[in-house]
A = this chain, B = another copy of it.
């Protein structure tokens, strides 16, 4: 079915999303949504995905795109230790997309939204002649002190949730082999196409008061750790040998003869949390995440600012860790 006009598209979206929670006093269909306010402090973030820059419809389905566009904004919310409440979706649509695409896009978003009790409360639709754009604003709340990039102290343990390099593994395999050839290995592309925002993990860590700073890994570990270091005015020492890398990522690297270690450092889009944690609370933090079946791995230690950001390589030498990875406006991707 063709896309139809703006009002037909809104009808399709309303139908796909179904009934919102009771927090939504007025949902899709008026000039704005009316919502129960945040309790405590409000946390807001927005993220965009542009076709040809952030995704390729040759190997991303509409449902996966919907999932990921919401996931990256939820991940920002997690990095603040906030609970997400609402999402607004602003779409720039190409005329050639059909109604089925819209339905699938919103089904992908809805599934993830439901898992985290997030209401998709409204948005906007415009025509975008050359590239599909999905822009998601997330509003959340936190009753505790928000986690920022600015609280790391020398002596804190640097830790990451989950594992690293999985998204780069998927992206590189998709680019090299195409999606069809990877049909029998869905686990290789899952991390790239359907990342998991670490909402519950962040909530558990905030509950413990364990984390002193946090960021989600979107640009890549090597870049994002520099953001923490700069905002906290500290140095960072990371050990390559400690970086958690999954068997799937290692298998993907073998498949296309690439380096899982490089992906883990520079790959980006893992949407794991990079945290600094008070040493005496690290074991409790690890136990709390174990209950959520999410590993929490110590990968290094916060250092005084004058030490800079350093990496202990696999041969045991310390070297400066340069920020490489995703940076808009320089190149599409600076790293490997």
Contacts and interface: CB of A to CB of B under 8 A. Distances in A.
Nearest to A149: B30
A258 interface: no
A141 interface: yes
Given A121-B44, A328-B5, A31 B215 contact: yes
Given A35-B41, A38-B42, A148 B30 contact: yes
A39 interface: yes
A37 B64 CA distance: 32
A70 interface: no
A129 interface: yes
Contacts of A90: 46-48, 90, 135, 137
Contact of A88 (B32, B46, B54): B46
A146 interface: yes
When all copies of this chain in the complex are counted, the total is: 2
A95 B329 contact: yes
A53 B126 contact: yes
A25 B77 CA distance: 15
Contacts of A231: 29-30
Interface in A104-144: 121-131, 133, 135, 137-142
Contacts of A215: 31
Contact of A34 (B35, B52, B146): B146
A45 B121 CA distance: 9
B146 A48 contact: no
Given A31-B79, A50-B92, A122 B5 contact: no
A327 B123 CA distance: 16
B124 A46 contact: yes
Interface string A1-41: 00111110100000000000000011001111111111111
A126 B48 contact: yes
Given A34-B42, A88-B137, A329-B4, A124 B47 contact: yes
A330 interface: yes
A131 B29 CA distance: 27
B77 A329 contact: no
A128 B53 contact: yes
Interface of A: 3-7, 9, 25-26, 29-50, 52-54, 76-77, 79-80, 82, 86, 88, 90, 92-93, 95, 121-131, 133, 135, 137-142, 146, 148-150, 214-216, 231, 327-330, 332
27 contacts: A3-B329, A5-B329, A7-B327, A29-B149, A31-B79, A31-B214, A32-B77, A36-B41, A36-B42, A37-B39, A44-B122, A44-B139, A46-B90, A46-B135, A46-B137, A50-B126, A50-B128, A52-B129, A53-B126, A88-B137, A90-B135, A95-B329, A127-B329, A127-B332, A128-B133, A131-B131, A137-B137
